[in-house]
Amino acid sequence: MGGRPAQQWSDGGAARVADWLDAAAALPPASVDLVYADPPFSTGKARTGPAGRYADTWPSLSGYLAWLRERVAATIPAIRPTGSILLHVDWRTSHRVRVLLDDLLGPDRFVNHLVWSYGLGGSSPRRFARKHDDILFYCIDPGRYWFDPPRVPATSNRLRGLKKKATDVLDIPSINNMAAERTGYPTQKPLALLDVLVRACCPPGGVVLDPCCGSGTALVAAAAAGRVPVGCDMNPRAVELARRRLLLATAHAGSIP
Ligand SMILES: C[S@@+](CC[C@H](N)C(=O)[O-])C[C@H]1O[C@@H](n2cnc3c(N)ncnc32)[C@H](O)[C@@H]1O
């Protein structure tokens, strides 16, 4: 898979404290197979958990989109021609982020609008309960991008016990309060989700970059699946957690700890 950007990061770690923008500028061109970015969603409030906190307030939607555009644009040169980007957002911005990605990459680079259906959470008497996030999947070259369709257990009686190719709706529960993988970092994503995404969109041995790594879920999934994890986060507490989880993941390579 060629260059391994993780080795070129100044402090030698696969996860480091940095702004996504600076981290992107430090990456060699065409060195990353998959970018998975799970930025703040512009919820308008700080996200807090027992193991950390991050700010999620922008003066306006256009301010948020400008922030995101600058970082995605700086990252694109680091993606290989066979590579892809998965941008994880939600109902607040997905319609605008899709347009942003169309602008930066071209509408013909759109591959999927994945729906992560997670189940948990409250409901409202005034609308349908919001129970999914949006993951926008774009490639660099429609004729060359790497993809290995994930397989999930079939649910129909006819195929019971067999597997079928996953659809663009990924039914994966969010992390429950008792889950062993729970770190206490706010908005931590489940390893089962990242395992599917990493295996589907990054070749074995390839490089996965998560520029807003938080507690390191994508990095851990990458390491466990035999991919090379590279990540950063502005929050030192997040990077500390990610590094700790990565140490465990590399000790158990091949299985999700
Ligand atoms: C939604 S959380 C990521 C959660 C992560 N996927 C997980 O499973 O733990 C977003 C993260 O983006 C980080 N962040 C915010 N602005 C950033 C920036 N400019 N550069 C790098 N990270 C940033 C926050 O500190 C936060 O940890």
Nearest partner of 225 among 190, 249, 193, judged by Cα: 249
pLDDT in tens, 18-44: 999 999 999 999 999 999 999 999 999
pLDDT-derived band at 159 (thresholds 50, 70, 90) equals: confident
DSSP at 207 = E
What torsion do the CA atoms of 245, 247, 252, 257 make, to the nearest 10 degrees? -10
Q: Does the residue 257 lie in any domain?
A: no
Note the pLDDT of residue 22.
97
* Domain at 198, CATH number: 3.40.50.150
Q: What is the Å distance from ligand 1's center to 44 Cα?
A: 15
Q: Does the residue 153 lie in any domain?
A: yes
Please report the beta strands in the chain, taking only residues with DSSP state E, as ranges in sequence order: 15-17, 32-37, 47-49, 52-54, 79-89, 110-117, 132-139, 151-153, 163-165, 169-171, 207-210, 228-233
Q: Whose CA is nearest to atom 3 of ligand 1?
A: 214
3-state secondary structure of 21: helix
Q: Does the residue 62 lie in any domain?
A: yes
pLDDT in tens, 227-254: 999 999 999 999 999 999 999 887 766 5
Q: Does the residue 139 lie in any domain?
A: yes
Q: Does the residue 256 lie in any domain?
A: no
| Structural domains in the chain (count) | 1
Q: Which residues line ligand 1 (CB under 6 A)?
A: 19-20, 38-40, 54, 185, 187-189, 211-212, 214-215, 217, 232-235, 238
Q: Whose CA is nearest to atom 26 of ligand 1?
A: 214
Q: Does the residue 75 lie in any domain?
A: yes
pLDDT in tens, 97-134: 999 999 999 999 999 999 999 987 788 999 999 999 99
